[in-house]
Amino acid sequence: MPVPLSARSATAASEFSDAGRGSAEAAVDLSAFQAEVVGVFVGLGQAMGLPKSYGEIYGLLFASTQPLGFNEIQSRLGLSKGSVSQGLRALREIGAVVVAGDFPGRREGYVAATELRPLAAALLRGTLEPQLVRGSAQLKTATGLLGEENLPLADRRVLARRLDKLQGWHRKAGGLLPWIIKFLR
C-alpha cells in the first residue's frame, strides 16, 4: 500500500526533497520499500554523474513487479514529461530499461533490466568511453598550452612531468576499458 512520503524514512524523504521539485510530497504514490530503492539508485546515479531523474526512474522500475507506463512513472515520481522522456530514452539506450510491450490505455510498458554485467558494460561504454575520447583531445590541447605558459623553467618541468603522468593514466585506462567491457559481456 502506498504511503505518503512524509510518513517514510528520513533518508527517502531527503532524496526526494533534494530532487529539485521543491516538495517531498511530489512523489506520493511510492511504497516505503520503493522509496528506499529509488534512493539507492539516485545515489548511485549521482555518483556516476547522471541526472537524479535517471536514478529515480530506474529505481521505481526496479522496485516494481509489473511494467509501468510513461504516465504512471511521471505521476508516481512527480517528474516533468521532459524528464521522464529524456530519462527513459537514455536508460533504454544503455540497456537499463526495456519495453515490455503494449498495454491497454497506454502505449508502452517499461521494466528495469536487472543483469549487472550488461548494465555495467553499457554504462562504461556510454560514460567512460566518451570521456576518454574527449580526454585525448584535452590532453593534446593541454600539452600545447603548457608550452605557451609564461612559467619559470622549474615549474614548467614539474607540470610537464605531471602531464606525462596523466597521459600515461589515460593510455592505461583506454587500454583497460575494452578488456573490462569484454569481460562484462
pLDDT-derived band at 112 (thresholds 50, 70, 90) equals very high
Q: Whole-angstrom Cα distance, residue 47 to residue 45?
A: 5
Residue 44 near residue 52 (C-beta atoms within 8 A):
no
Question: pTM (2 decimals)?
Answer: 0.66
Place of cell 574527449: 134
Cβ count within 10 A of residue 147: 8
Strand-pair partners of 98: 111
Read off the C-alpha cell for 162: 605531471
Q: Whole-angstrom Cα distance, residue 28 to residue 182?
A: 41
pLDDT-derived band at 105 (thresholds 50, 70, 90) equals low
**Mean per-residue pLDDT for 30-49?**
91
Is it the case that residue 167 has pLDDT exceeding 80?
Answer: yes
Residue type, 177: L
Domain ranges of the chain: 5-112, 116-184
Give the pLDDT of residue 119. 78
Residue type, 105: G
Architecture of domain 5-112: Orthogonal Bundle (1.10)
Is it the case that residue 43 has pLDDT exceeding 70?
Answer: yes
Residue type, 12: A
Burial class (CB in 10 A: 0-12, 13-18, 19+), 45: buried
Is it the case that residue 159 has pLDDT exceeding 80?
Answer: yes
